[in-house]
Amino acid sequence: MSSLFDDIRGYFEEVPHAIECGIRVDHLSAERVEMALPFREDWLGDPARGLIHTALISMLVDNASGLAALAALPGPGRVATVDLRVDYLRPALRDLELYCEARCIRLASQIVFVRAEVWQADRAQPVASSQSTFMRSAASKTGMAQ
């Protein structure tokens, strides 16, 4: 487990905007990652209706999914986002944190496949769902079967 915590420290060193945005890691294991993004007024894309800009959702998903990809690796490594698809299911509302859970669904020799879900107050009412792929660096591939 200590290498996983080394990865999270290294992850935030590589992605300083995650710290600037206030992202917090609520759960980290090889099986799943859960992150939260606290609400800020400047997150609003539609202030009149109190709706959070969808770019914040994508950013949270990319961070949670990338960390889930890293956590699934058998050892230290690096990944890069190849494809990130986000389906926006309902508006994200002001004054509520955004939560994202991401899980690696397949770890291949060169690609990591991740699914994620975003919600606010009620996990049963997701704001968005996502599927993404990450390319593994050469150092991440040792010992993996195809």
Give the mean pLDDT of 4-9.
57
Residue scoring higher pLDDT (5 or 122): 122
pLDDT at 2 over 60: no
Per-residue model confidence as pLDDT tens digits over 91-105: 999 999 999 999 999
Topology of the domain comprising 2-140: Thiol Ester Dehydrase; Chain A (3.10.129)
**pLDDT score of 137:** 84
**d(C-alpha 120, C-alpha 116), whole Å:** 14
Domain ranges of the chain: 2-140
pLDDT at 41: 94
Q: Please give the angle made by the CA atoms of 39, 55 and 42, to the nearest 5 degrees.
A: 40
Confidence check: pLDDT of 140 > 60: no
Mean pLDDT, the chain, rounded, equals 88
Nearest to 113 by CA among 75, 143, 79, 90: 79
CA–CA dist 145, 143 (Å, integer) = 7
> How many CA within 13 A on the CB side of residue 132?
31
Where in 41-127 does DSSP place strands (E)? 44-46, 51-52, 79-88, 98-107, 111-119
Q: What is the pTM of this model?
A: 0.87
For 39, which DSSP code?
-
Residue pLDDT, tens place only, 7-53: 566 667 777 788 888 999 999 999 999 999 999 999 999 999 999 99
In the structure encoding, which two tokens stand for residue 100, read together? Answer: 């994202």
pLDDT at 97: 97
| pLDDT band at residue 76 using 50, 70 and 90 as cut-offs | confident
Whole-number pLDDT of residue 16:
79
Containing 137, the helix (H) or strand (E) segment is none
Distance linking the first and last C-alpha atoms of the chain: 25
**What's the pLDDT at 43?**
93
Rounded CA-CA distance 116/105 in Å is 10
